Amino acid sequence: MGSSVRVKEASVITPSEPTPSSVLALSALDSQLFLRFTIEYLLVYNPCPGLDQAATTARLKAALARALVLYYPFAGRVRPRPDGPGLEVVCGAQGAVFIEASADCYNVNDFEKAPKTVTHWRSLLSLHVADVLKGSPPLVVQMTWLRDGAAALGVGINHCICDGIGSAEFLNHFAELANEKRELLLGLRPKQKPVWERHLLNPPRGKQTRVDSASHPEFNRVADLCNFMSKVSTGLKPTSVTFDKRRLNELKRLARCTSQPGESVCYTSFEVLAAHVWRSWARAIGFPPNQKLKLVFSVNVRNRVKPGLPEGYYGNAFVLGCAETSAKELEERGIGFGSGLVKRAKERVGNEHVREVMELVWERKACPDPVGVLIVSQWSRLGLEKIDVGMGKLLHVGPVCCDRYCLFLPLREHCVSVKVMVAVPTLAVDNYQLFMRASHL
């Protein structure tokens, strides 16, 4: 299948104007060991009759060059700091990569369901940067024209430089520059100027606080009672289940009915959906009753640290929330129990908690252990569905490759609806989908 995607040209795109030549330090949160990978987005646009493909590709390349003027670290290169812990970006306008391609193996309808395999769409971002520290570009964009005139825009952004919110802000700025009609209305500058200021999320020099590891379960190991990684990573098959407003409200009702005595019964859509996915996944795979399980998810700290971070801060400004319980409790005590665990995990994240995380990852190189863990990432609140590059209607937003990390994805036409995408072991797929759809079970 991958051989049917033909790469026409790969170009290095540099900023269209002179940019500062400097070395910028990344923060303690940016430099975490588990963030040294590439966030890979796949945006699919419906066919746009009469669209000049060559002119559109040229317009996107020019827009990328202009976007790199304000976001010039994306044109730099990441390396370890030579004089201490952490990473830094060498900014010398080295450039991002833009790939032009065509594919006669896909049409727009292929993206309405989950991919057939975990790597089925891999060729739609053919340059996969496995290790940005080896001198690879932190930003790769691929425009692939599909058989029916639709377009797939694959984007890879290294996680060391930004988080999901920051990457979405960059992509929306790039899109506004590429969309000639919107550019006339909005001008050349983004709605808010990008802010670097990574020192704001570093622990104070020379000051160490005593951190209670029990208050940070995301970094603690649990006993492996079932050969966990083999159980959850072997023979994976992608799945996709959509929850509209009605189904989300049904989950909230069930969560209220199954909450613990004295528990707050006001849950957000994220809390109930995360708990429902976690419980369905665990039940379908079938862990031993006493296996400790964790649900790990990102918590935006831009307004949780003191002082708050400035608008436009596009670095990694999140820490991991962590809900933890046994497989038996997760199943038997219902969605309200799980929702309460998720809610309390979010509420633990305050200024002091964030400062402790910075010290743990900076001084002690703390890193989450994968045993017992399901990771949920909420892409549905990033604004990815608003990325309008002037190629018509956006049909699909999702990852390039589907894996065992669960994503909450936006639906372009239904702002409240959420698509849940995760790859589960093939033998567990039927039960997982049954539990996801029959939330009363």
Q: Give catalytic residues, as residue numbers.
A: 159, 388
Scored b (16 or more CB within 10 A) or e, 128-154 reads ebeebeeebbbbbbbbbbbeebbbbbb
Q: How far apart are the first and last CA of the chain?
A: 39
Look up residue 361 and give its amino acid. Answer: V
Reduced to 3 states (helix: H, G, I; strand: E, B; else coil), residue 184 is helix
Calpha distance 255→273 (Å, rounded) = 10
- ∠ Cα 53 169 176 (to 5°): 40
- Tokens 């795109």: give the residue: 13
Q: Which helix (H) or strand (E) holds 173?
A: helix 164-178
- With CA atoms as reference, report the closest residue to 25 among 83, 89, 69: 89
> Which residues of 107-189 form beta strands (DSSP E)?
139-145, 151-158
CA 85 to chain centre: 25
Residue 318 zone, left/alpha/beta (φ > 0; ψ -120 to 50; rest): beta
Q: How many Cα atoms within 13 Å fall on the side-chain side of residue 221? A: 6
Strand-pair category, 406-411 with 373-378: parallel
Number of helices and strands in the chain (H, E): 10, 15
Task: Determine the angle formed by the axes of helices 53-70 and 164-178, rounding to 10 degrees.
Answer: 130
Q: The tokens of 48 are what? A: 């746009």
DSSP 107: -
DSSP 25-94: E--TTTT-GGG-SEEEEEEEE---TT--HHHHHHHHHHHHHHHHHHTGGGGSEEEE-TTSSSEEEEES--
Calpha distance 353→346 (Å, rounded) = 11
- Count CB-CB contacts under 10 A for residue 92: 16
* Dihedrals phi, psi of 229, to nearest 5 degrees: -65, -40
